[in-house]
Amino acid sequence: MDFSNKMVLITGASSGIGTEFAKAFAAKGCSLILVARRSDRLHALAAELGTPCEVLPADLSKEDEVNRIAEIAKDQKVDVLINCAGYGLLGAETELALSDELNMIDLNIRAVHILTKKFLPRLVEIGNGAVLNVASSAGLLPAGPYLNTYYATKAYVASFTQGLAAELKDQGSKVYVGALCPGPVYTEFTEVAGGSQWDKGITAKECVEYAVKKMEKGKTLIVPNGSIRASLFFTRLLPRKFVIRFLAKFQKKKIERS
């Protein structure tokens, strides 16, 4: 797929991977709709990009805000939807606030699902366009103690997206649907999640450059980091209980170092 000169809507555009997607598509001559909570960051980014940008501040953990964004953007003839907004919460399940976890579920799952459903019918109708849902390599693993709900939300996104891509292929549609499943990326994620910085990761720019290349080639499941791809392969060969115990120790160390 050629992404030049498209209309692209990006959620979570105020930082990290979302910001890098905005820069990558701006470099392709695209017009952008930038969505995130932090209006000041969105306006600063829009001023920097040098391409037509519409700034839409919104808290996508609230369903009425998700629907508002979809309603505003529907007349813009969006060609590409990048569902990037999301976050994690690190800690023991018994210690995390239920309200915080439900807020995360609403953002990581409901917002992604609703926006995908709102924008996809038009893309299918015109027979062109793309939806990329940012999941995580965490969503491809059996479970993630101490980052438990986050892993579960990303498993939902990865499964939903792969299933949707298969449906469209079965129907002969040319619309691209993919899931970006990065491992550790140097962003604000760990600060928000409440843990220490990742030990070995890639930059958000590296993540996005790899993702866009794979989108152009029609790749459904995108895992940017080579070492993470290898790790995911080997975890499939190991007993699930062993993998879960290892992840528990790994995440617990982040709490201890924070």
Instruction: Please check whether residue 179 is in contact with residue 224, taking contact to mean a CB–CB distance below 8 angstroms.
Output: no
Q: Which of 20-24, 91-95, 193-197, 235-239 has the lowest mean pLDDT?
A: 193-197
We report the CATH number of the domain holding residue 50 as: 3.40.50.720
pLDDT at 73: 84
Judge whether 170 lies within some domain. Answer: yes
pLDDT, tens only, 5-25: 999 999 999 999 999 999 999
Query: What per-residue confidence (pLDDT) applies to 256?
Result: 67
Distance of CA 24 to the CA centre of its chain: 15
Percentage of the chain beyond pLDDT 70 is 93
pLDDT at 195 over 70: no
Give me the active site residues, please: 150
| Average pLDDT for 86-105 | 95
Asked if residue 60 lies in contact with residue 107, where contact means CB atoms within 8 angstroms, the answer is yes
Binned at pLDDT 50, 70 and 90, residue 92 comes out as very high
Residue 53 lies in a domain: yes
Contact 14, 192 (CB under 8 A): no
Whether 165 is in a domain gets the answer yes
Nearest to 104 by CA among 126, 88, 82: 88
In degrees and rounded to multiples of 5, residue 171 shows phi and psi of: -85, 0
Across all residues in the chain, what is the average pLDDT?
91
Alpha-helical (H) ranges within 146-203 are 148-170, 189-193
The structure's pTM equals 0.90
2 within domain boundaries: no
Contact between residue 70 and residue 118 where contact means Cβ atoms under 8 Å apart: yes
pLDDT digits (tens, 9 = 90+) for 147-167: 999 999 999 999 999 999 999
Q: What does the pLDDT average to over 213-225?
A: 95
Residue among 61, 57, 63 nearest 36 (CA):
57
What is the CB-side half-sphere exposure of residue 232 using CA atoms within 13 A?
A: 18
Position 194 pLDDT exceeds 50: no
Asked if residue 1 is part of any domain, the answer here is no
Alpha helices per DSSP H over 83-129: 98-105, 112-126
Task: Determine the structural domain holding residue 12 and report its residue range.
Answer: 7-257
Structurally, the chain folds into a number of domains equal to 1
